[in-house]
């Protein structure tokens, strides 16, 4: 498995501001994933982050709105830019743990409320 720490765990944000979520893993991993889970909904993949390359975004998500950094094999950040109430959601960092048979593990999540 993998131990994944996310910060902040929860925040209330003003409309129009940006917030950066940090994700730290206790082991080196090739790819990290960022998901969003809106209230009452399932998980939606935002992007896949490879160390040393640009993140790959899923349909409906763009780099200007959700810039991602991946400076090393244990850390990544997701920024939610120019927030609106529609961005109120849980944002989840996840990784495929080494030698785990493609098993995905999740961080504790960051609960964002935009007012």
Partner 1 sequence: QKEVEQNSGPLSVPEGAIASLNCTYSDRGSQSFFWYRQYSGKSPELIMSIYSNGDKEDGRFTAQLNKASQYVSLLIRDSQPSDSATYLCAVNQGGGSYIPTFGRGTSLIVHP
Residues that bind partner 1 (CB under 8 A): 1, 30-31, 33, 41-43, 45, 48, 90, 92, 96, 101-109, 111
Q: What's the min distance (Å) between Cβ of 48 and partner 1? A: 6
Q: Where are the beta strands (DSSP E) in 1-115?
A: 4-7, 10-13, 19-25, 31-37, 44-50, 56-57, 68-72, 75-80, 89-96, 104-106, 110-114
Q: Residue 73 or residue 90: which is nearer to partner 1 going by CB?
A: 90
- For partner 1, the closer CB: 31 or 73: 31
Residue 1: CB minimum distance to partner 1, A: 8
Name, in order, each residue with C-beta under 8 angstroms of 67's C-beta and a sequence gap of 6 or more: 78, 79, 81
């Amino acid at each position: 498995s993998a131990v994944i720490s996310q910060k902040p765990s929860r925040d209330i944000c003003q409309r129009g501001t940006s917030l950066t979520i940090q994700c730290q893993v206790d082991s080196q991993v090739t790819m990290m994933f960022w998901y969003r889970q809106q209230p009452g909904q399932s998980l939606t993949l935002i992007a896949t982050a490879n160390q040393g390359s640009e993140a790959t975004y899923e349909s409906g998500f763009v780099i200007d709105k959700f810039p991602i950094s991946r400076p090393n094999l244990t850390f990544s950040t997701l920024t939610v830019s120019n927030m609106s109430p529609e961005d109120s959601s849980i944002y989840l960092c996840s990784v495929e743990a080494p030698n785990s048979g493609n098993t995905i593990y999740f961080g504790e999540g960051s609960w964002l409320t935009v007012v």
